[in-house]
């Protein structure tokens, strides 16, 4: 468990911008990293750090952002138009800062991977120094579009200057220390100083960062913490940044699984979403996607190019190459694939064998069922130990409705059988290969439903003569 913030803190998350550089219709903070909108990572971290009061400034497609994070407990404030980060905080304060708030944490919604530890460290420094502002920084060889942290000869922070505003000042652009966009403010200072912000002469935006210079002009101290966790603190402004953020999240998730006893043959190429759990001694091959709330047991093997979404695998399950498994349950000791498709509601019990080119939808395959080849089982209940031959198809859909197929315990369905639902094949019954079964088969009986073979005398075929 992480340590928690002791102070009562209001966090303001800035998320009103469109994110022009993403070249997207979607609000920037809703772009996904391993299956979750980026903003969800930031909210989780805040909650884990003990920040309960969160104000989120939204603007561009505000409704979509609201809807994407329901039940988050966040208070939304709409900033319209979006006149810069300083303007965003002005709007947040005017609308919704509890009068009692003493310390305000400001974070950028587009830098969502900040670690709880980093927030705590920044807060410790803020408390220890009594600063008006405590700004988080990182060091970069090329600060590109980030705000540069300007210090005086004694190393005191004097200002943060935006790259766009420093085009004529190579000495400022050369500064390696940049602003990550995370700050603690003394609330009284913030309230008063926000009034004094002026728009930038270069961009016309109102910059939150100008508060640093204002604090210095008032003779207040500004603290800065150079955080070593560079990767997590980079902003996400472009698709390239988004791709880099995905790699950061993936590495941290995969490091956790490795640490907990999961073998990843190539950790770089396992895409495991944050909500997935995996038991020890499970082996995961390259190019595997484990998504949603999937739960993978112990001692499983997941071969290359498999996608598993919102599914449960018990222990000792073997998924062979090229399977797609969605909202399914797979019992202990079962094996699936290669190239099988388990669709929602597939429930494979213990030691079931599902082989290549088999599709299962909304069907229970009880213990020990074998369906080895080229089969479709939909809306079926297949009894324990039943054997489903190659090419068996449940004809579950009559064009209007779906109908069930019931196959009893130990039944044997010959190859290339069509089971026209609704239909029941009794326990221990046997269906001859190539049958089209339209009526129930009583337990223990042998059903054959196909034209009887006739072997006729061959008539000689006259040779065609070439002219």
Farthest CA pair distance, the chain: 113
Taking CB under 6 A as the rule, does residue 162 contact ligand UD1?
A: yes
Taking CB under 6 A as the rule, does residue 87 contact ligand UD1?
A: yes
Taking CB under 6 A as the rule, does residue 187 contact ligand UD1?
A: no
The interface partner of residue 88, options being Ca ion, ligand UD1, none and the CB cut-off 5 to 8 Å by kind, is ligand UD1
> Which region among 163-171, 229-237, 350-358, 397-405 touches Ca ion (by CB under 5 A)?
229-237
> Which region among 235-243, 324-332, 408-416, 434-442 touches Ca ion (by CB under 5 A)?
235-243
Taking CB under 6 A as the rule, does residue 37 contact ligand UD1?
A: no
- The CB-of-106 to ligand UD1 minimum distance in angstroms stands at 9
Taking CB under 5 A as the rule, does residue 314 contact Ca ion?
A: no
- The CB-of-172 to ligand UD1 minimum distance in angstroms stands at 12
Taking CB under 6 A as the rule, does residue 378 contact ligand UD1?
A: no
* Beta strands 387-388 and 363-365, pairing class: unpaired
Measured from the Cβ of residue 101, the count of other Cβ atoms closer than 10 Å reads 19
Taking CB under 6 A as the rule, does residue 15 contact ligand UD1?
A: yes
Taking CB under 6 A as the rule, does residue 133 contact ligand UD1?
A: no
Taking CB under 6 A as the rule, does residue 85 contact ligand UD1?
A: yes
Residues contacting residue 191 through CB under 8 Å, at least 6 positions apart: 93, 97
- The CB-of-115 to Ca ion minimum distance in angstroms stands at 18
Q: Which helix (H) or strand (E) holds 91?
A: helix 85-96
Q: Which of 123, 329, 366, 373 is catalytic?
A: 373
> Which region among 15-23, 121-129, 372-380, 411-419 touches ligand UD1 (by CB under 6 A)?
15-23
Using CA atoms, how far apart are residues 341 and 354, in angstroms rounded to an integer?
10
Taking CB under 6 A as the rule, does residue 31 contact ligand UD1?
A: no
Taking CB under 5 A as the rule, does residue 53 contact Ca ion?
A: no
Taking CB under 5 A as the rule, does residue 110 contact Ca ion?
A: yes
Using CA atoms, how far apart are residues 245 and 110, in angstroms rounded to an integer?
11
The interface partner of residue 17, options being ligand UD1, Ca ion, none and the CB cut-off 5 to 8 Å by kind, is ligand UD1
Query: Per-residue string for binding with ligand UD1, 307-346, x by CB under 6 A?
Result: ----------------------------------------
Taking CB under 6 A as the rule, does residue 235 contact ligand UD1?
A: yes
Nearer to ligand UD1, 45 or 79 (CB): 79
Taking CB under 6 A as the rule, does residue 82 contact ligand UD1?
A: yes
Taking CB under 5 A as the rule, does residue 19 contact Ca ion?
A: no
> Which region among 14-22, 188-196, 327-335, 372-380 touches ligand UD1 (by CB under 6 A)?
14-22
Query: Per-residue string for binding with ligand UD1, 90-129, x by CB under 6 A?
Result: ------------------xxxx------------------
Catalytic (active site) residue 373: yes
- The CB-of-110 to Ca ion minimum distance in angstroms stands at 4
Looking at 109, 116, 147, 235, which residue binds Ca ion (CB under 5 A)?
235
Using CA atoms, how far apart are residues 290 and 317, in angstroms rounded to an integer?
15
Nearer to ligand UD1, 236 or 377 (CB): 236
By beta-carbon distance, which residue lies closest to ligand UD1? 147
Taking CB under 6 A as the rule, does residue 179 contact ligand UD1?
A: yes
Residue with the two structure tokens 């922070």 = 157
Tokens of 120: 């705590």
Tokens of 134: 């405590």
Interface ranges with ligand UD1 (CB under 6 A)? 14-17, 57, 79, 82-85, 87-88, 108-111, 145-147, 160, 162, 178-181, 207-209, 235, 237
Interface ranges with Ca ion (CB under 5 A)? 110, 235, 237
Catalytic residues: 373
């Amino acid at each position: 468990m992480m340590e928690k913030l002791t102070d009562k803190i209001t966090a303001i998350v800035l998320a009103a911008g469109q994110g022009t550089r993403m070249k997207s219709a979607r609000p920037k903070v809703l772009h996904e990293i391993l299956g979750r909108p980026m903003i969800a990572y930031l909210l989780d971290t805040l909650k884990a750090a003990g920040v309960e009061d969160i104000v989120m400034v939204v603007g561009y497609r505000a409704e979509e952002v609201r809807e994407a994070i329901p039940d988050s407990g966040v208070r939304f404030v709409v900033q319209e138009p979006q006149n810069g980060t300083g303007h965003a905080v002005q709007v947040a304060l005017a609308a919704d800062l509890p009068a009692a708030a003493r310390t305000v944490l400001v974070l950028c919604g587009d830098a969502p991977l900040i670690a709880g530890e980093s927030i705590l460290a920044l807060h410790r420094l803020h408390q220890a120094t009594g600063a008006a502002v405590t700004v988080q920084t990182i060091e970069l060889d090329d600060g590109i579009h980030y705000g540069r942290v300007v210090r005086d000869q004694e190393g005191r922070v004097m200002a943060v200057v935006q790259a766009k505003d420093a085009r004529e000042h190579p000495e400022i652009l050369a500064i390696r220390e940049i602003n990550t966009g995370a700050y603690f403010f003394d609330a009284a200072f913030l309230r008063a100083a926000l009034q004094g912000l002026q728009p930038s002469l270069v961009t016309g935006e109102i910059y939150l960062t100008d508060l640093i210079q204002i604090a210095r002009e008032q003779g207040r101290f500004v603290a800065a913490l150079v955080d070593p966790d560079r990767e997590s603190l980079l902003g996400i402004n472009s698709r390239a940044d988004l791709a880099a953020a995905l790699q950061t999240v993936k590495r941290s998730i995969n490091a956790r699984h490795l640490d907990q006893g999961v073998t990843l043959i190539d950790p770089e190429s396992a895409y495991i979403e944050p909500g997935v759990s995996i038991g020890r001694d499970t082996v995961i091959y390259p190019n595997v996607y484990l998504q949603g709330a999937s739960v993978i047991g112990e001692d499983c093997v997941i071969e290359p190019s498999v996608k598993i979404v919102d599914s449960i695998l018990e222990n000792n399950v073997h998924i062979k190459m090229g399977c797609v498994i969605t909202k399914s349950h797979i019992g202990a000791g079962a094996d699936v694939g290669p190239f099988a498709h388990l669709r929602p509601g597939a429930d494979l019990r213990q030691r079931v064998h599902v082989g290549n080119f088999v599709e299962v939808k909304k069907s229970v395959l009880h213990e020990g069922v074998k369906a080895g080849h080229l089969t479709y089982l939909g809306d079926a209940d297949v009894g324990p130990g039943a054997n489903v031959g190659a090419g068996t198809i449940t004809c579950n859909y009559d064009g209007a409705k779906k109908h069930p197929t019931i196959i009893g315990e130990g039944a044997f369905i010959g190859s290339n059988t069509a089971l026209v639902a609704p239909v029941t094949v009794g326990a221990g019954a046997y269906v001859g290969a190539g049958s089209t079964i339209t009526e129930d088969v009583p337990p223990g009986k042998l059903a054959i439903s196909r034209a009887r073979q006739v072997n006729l005398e061959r008539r000689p075929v006259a040779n065609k003569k070439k002219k």
